[in-house]
Structure 1
């Protein structure tokens, strides 16, 4: 049948068929060569391939060293240092291959604390190099998203201040009474919320947002009214932003006063030194907070309603703002239940 069909084709059609056949062969050879080259590249740059090659080379060299010692080509005592040398070289080679993983761990820690400006060098074209590039791209995208969010929130907060001021002026003209007082209270909470949002977004820039100068923290503590002050003598001056530290101290003291039970004891503000750290503690004698809520204190808008209801005042940003102020100064805020009450401690490095 094929022979009969072949004789029925014209010379031009036969030429076209031969040309198509040659074209298919050329395409197949090109495809095969691309797969071979791609496989060679994958073998060359693949971390797994290099590790396998290293272990195979280690096994071959180790076998040759042992064989040479057993066959009497050299003294058996030479086999031990030779094996150690080969093992050391293999260990160094493997360590160099997986060293970028340590950089990835450092990057994960940096991103976990909010440092998205951290970038890792791309040291190869293997799987870890590809993962490093993806980490860097992810950090860039997250930073851009956060910057956009911060800019939007700052713009909205600024725009809200003017109508809020006008609303408060109009509220002042309302006839005195419970409705007017409630309205002014709500407008005051809105003003505090907007100011807290603006301040938190400014502090998102970290240390660069601070106006540092030598500050006597003991003097700021002594200025607090209605509290029991305990200050260790001879404390050094620190490079701080006085306005931000006053804001932090005021938030902590007002929060403690709001929840303190005076029958159990006063609010205590203490300042002391432990090694190279200055500890500023504010303690109340109130109900404290549930143990499961402690780890969430300081999160934006979090309120442990079981112990502190919304009627107590506040918008849930005070402790979050205090944490950001502490972090911008290189310190940290620790919160713990005491018996009775709650204690918030600011740790500030003296250096």
Structure 2
């Protein structure tokens, strides 16, 4: 069990309280036994003194002390055991407080006379106070533990619902905790209200994006048709390239939005790194070759989204540097270019919509998209400066079966 969990702490608290109650009960029991022993010895001394002085013990005195004589066969058996254990006992005055199965006994001897006394009260009547106190504490402790555990159990359901909501499922059970007036009920209602607002905001954003894409796709499609019927081949080719570029940008915009909203399912399959680079070059309309060291290796990745990562990193390397090179290492792929050193830590550039002079010189929204895609594929973006080279690295790579990073 997680030692930071509330249930672990509750169980630990209950265990400590239970152990403390039992220990306190044992000490209370021993104290009660000791007090009883002292009381019986004091009563025995009074009885023995009266017996020695007057030669007899008034029954009224025994009744006031709550004692009674032990007679018959039981007395004879107990006396025989005492003689065997404490012999010789003759011609002496003795006082013992003994414990037997039936309870405590007072043994009195005055010369050749012997007497056994026992309390008139039963064993239960003498022990009900410590036993009752201990049982009461244990009962109250157990009830409080069960009530607290029952009050906290909905947290596990809320945890499952929050996890499911994070994976794109709609939260269920909104009415299950609506009537609760404790902190758990407040937390549940706050979560469901926030989830409803976020779902409404997400639906509004998706609707807005669909409308924009629909409105933009219509003129792009018409423009491509007009380009096909153009009489001049050079103009037709130029228009075709422009509208093809716009179509790719719209497609990429829609895919980035689906990835950011965690709605795009990833399809992991073996892909060659050189194919990712070629796809990025096509999106950027780059004709010249990019040097690739180890580009023939295959990794397990989602081709569509990872090609956007390659495209953004290649675009940054070309815009803000020169001599771009791509190297595949043991567990990473590196994008190396000569250029100025980053003025801020990499985390600053991966934040969306950062403002200021540094952003104007920096990498815009591209690295934020790179980070979001890499997180979904179990990878991270790293940056280091070696000499005059800026090196951005994606790691760790998961090579396809039969491939090696050596």
User: In the alignment, which residue of structure 1 is the partner of 2:271?
Assistant: 216
User: In the alignment, which residue of structure 2 is the partner of 1:283?
Assistant: 336
Residue correspondences, number:
265
Q: Retained in 2: the 8 A contact 1:270–1:282?
A: no
Distance in 1 (alpha carbons) for counterparts of 2:190 and 2:262:
26
Q: Where is the helix percentage greater, Structure 1 or Structure 2?
A: 1
Higher relative contact order (CA 8 A, sep 6+): 1
- Per-residue deviation, residues 46-103 of structure 1 (Å, max 9, x unmatched): xxxxxxxx9xx98x967983544432359x9xx99x9999979866764554455577
Q: CA deviation at 1:289?
A: 2.4
User: In the alignment, which residue of structure 2 is the partner of 1:336?
Assistant: 383
Structure 2 unmatched runs, 5+ = 1-13, 34-126, 231-237, 282-287, 401-406
Distance in 2 (alpha carbons) for counterparts of 1:221 and 1:134:
44
User: In the alignment, which residue of structure 1 is the partner of 2:203?
Assistant: 147
Distance in 2 (alpha carbons) for counterparts of 1:139 and 1:154:
22
Q: Retained in 2: the 8 A contact 1:284–1:342?
A: yes
The structure-2 alpha-carbon separation of the partners of 1:222 and 1:147, relative to structure 1 and needing over 3 Å to count, comes to closer
Distance in 2 (alpha carbons) for counterparts of 1:145 and 1:104:
22
Q: CA deviation at 1:206?
A: 3.4
Distance in 2 (alpha carbons) for counterparts of 1:318 and 1:257:
13
The partner residue of 1:70 within 31, 38, 41 is: 31
2:318 equivalent to 1:269: no
Distance in 2 (alpha carbons) for counterparts of 1:269 and 1:85:
70
- The structure number with the bigger radius of gyration is 2
The structure-2 alpha-carbon separation of the partners of 1:131 and 1:260, relative to structure 1 and needing over 3 Å to count, comes to same
The structure-2 alpha-carbon separation of the partners of 1:221 and 1:103, relative to structure 1 and needing over 3 Å to count, comes to same
Alignment of 1:238-257 (within 5 A): 238=300, 240-257=301-318
2:345 equivalent to 1:345: no
TM-score (norm 2): 0.47
Distance in 1 (alpha carbons) for counterparts of 2:32 and 2:253:
79
Distance in 2 (alpha carbons) for counterparts of 1:200 and 1:344:
21
Alignment of 1:100-115 (within 5 A): 100=154, 115=167
The partner residue of 1:318 within 360, 366, 371 is: 366
Q: Partner of 2:358: helix, strand, or coil?
A: coil
Q: Where is the strand percentage greater, Structure 1 or Structure 2?
A: 2
Q: CA RMSD in A?
A: 5.3
Distance in 1 (alpha carbons) for counterparts of 2:248 and 2:352:
14
Q: CA deviation at 1:202?
A: 2.7
User: In the alignment, which residue of structure 2 is the partner of 1:229?
Assistant: 292
Q: CA deviation at 1:146?
A: 0.7
2:358 equivalent to 1:306: yes
Q: CA deviation at 1:218?
A: 3.9
The structure-2 alpha-carbon separation of the partners of 1:86 and 1:64, relative to structure 1 and needing over 3 Å to count, comes to farther
The structure-2 alpha-carbon separation of the partners of 1:289 and 1:137, relative to structure 1 and needing over 3 Å to count, comes to same
Structure 1 unmatched runs, 5+ = 1-53, 174-180, 274-278
The structure-2 alpha-carbon separation of the partners of 1:71 and 1:118, relative to structure 1 and needing over 3 Å to count, comes to farther
Q: Partner of 2:380: helix, strand, or coil?
A: strand
